[in-house]
């Protein structure tokens, strides 16, 4: 089974997907982290989103994924890909069709390897349009900015609320307006607004949707 969870930046996809996967005994695949890996590698190589042959560059990267860690050419970059500069660059590289195309096959192979909860921005529309359960997780921009700020501070990364909010708004615009696989709710996805809800409450709602799907298919 594949559970697709899409939504804008800071909606809680990462935490909800991880806890939902744990609760259901499934594997969680964070596709956004793959774009962060590409962004980190490109920044280190001095490449920008307009660089030629990005598909070839991405194809040459040594990307490895485990449930809790991400590796780039043998280096554990789990913490490095969460830094604000990498986050900002990730959405720019994610808007490049060649990058999305280069990562599509990898995402599909990883997601189909086991029963998976896969989160990102185009999972239910592009990566796994046939996912058994599709959820579109959302929340207001200010609430998402507060969550992201708390997450960064918990990792010891200093950030300003206004800057984080501006990054959220900018990323929303870039993700929804990009030509390649823009962020949108799949026609058959169920929207879950996490505003004012605890993580446990959101996970419970998502788990109920999965249980309902399994009952219908039984």
pLDDT band of 41, cuts 50, 70, 90: very high
Q: Is the dihedral of CA 157, 159, 165, 169 positive or negative?
A: negative
Asked whether 141 and 195 are in contact (CB, 8 A), the reply is no
Neighbour count for residue 165 (Cβ, 10 Å): 18
Task: Quote the pLDDT of residue 60.
Answer: 95
Q: How far is residue 178's CA from residue 118's CA, in Å, rounded to a whole number? A: 21
Tell whether the model's pLDDT for residue 67 goes beyond 80.
no
**Alpha carbons within 13 A on the beta-carbon side of 184:** 13
The CA-to-CA distance between both ends of the chain, in Å, stands at 13
What's the average model confidence in pLDDT over 92-111? Answer: 93
Q: For residue 13, give the 3-state DSSP assignment.
A: helix
Query: Of 137, 136, 133, 135, which Cα lies nearest the Cα of 210?
Result: 133
The predicted structure's pLDDT at residue 180: 79
pLDDT at 95: 87
146-169 tens-digit pLDDT: 988 998 889 888 889 999 999 899
- Paired residues of 134 in beta bridges: 4
Supply 121's token pair: 């921005």
CATH 3.40.50.300 fits domain 2-211: yes
Per the rule left: phi > 0, alpha: psi between -120 and 50, beta: everything else, 138 is: beta
Mean pLDDT for all residues in the chain? 93
Average pLDDT rounded to a whole number, residues 95-111: 93
Question: Residue 59: its pLDDT value, please?
Answer: 93
Q: Tens digit of pLDDT for each residue in 159-215?
A: 899 999 998 999 898 888 887 788 899 999 999 999 989 999 999 999 999 999 999
Measured CA to CA, the distance from residue 72 to residue 80 in angstroms comes to: 11
């Amino acid at each position: 089974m594949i559970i697709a969870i899409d939504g804008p930046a800071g909606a809680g996809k990462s935490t909800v997907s991880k806890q939902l996967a744990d609760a259901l005994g499934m594997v969680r695949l964070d596709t956004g982290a793959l774009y962060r890996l590409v962004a980190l590698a490109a920044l280190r190589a001095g490449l920008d989103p307009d660089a030629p042959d990005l598909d070839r560059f991405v194809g040459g990267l040594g990307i490895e994924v485990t449930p809790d860690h991400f590796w780039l050419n043998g280096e554990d970059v789990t913490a490095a890909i969460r830094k604000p500069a990498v986050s900002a660059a990730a959405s720019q590289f994610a808007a490049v069709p060649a990058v999305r195309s280069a990562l599509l096959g990898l995402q599909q192979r990883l997601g189909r390897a086991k029963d998976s909860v896969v989160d990102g921005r185009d999972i239910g529309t592009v990566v796994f349009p046939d996912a058994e359960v599709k959820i579109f997780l959302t929340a207001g921009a200010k609430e998402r900015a507060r969550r992201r700020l708390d997450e960064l501070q918990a990792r010891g990364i200093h950030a300003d609320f206004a800057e984080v909010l501006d990054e959220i708004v900018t990323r929303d615009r870039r993700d929804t307006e990009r030509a390649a696989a823009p962020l949108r709710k799949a026609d058959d996805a169920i929207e879950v607004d996490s505003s004012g809800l605890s993580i446990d409450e959101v996970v419970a709602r998502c788990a109920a949707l999965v249980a309902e799907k399994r009952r219908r298919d039984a």
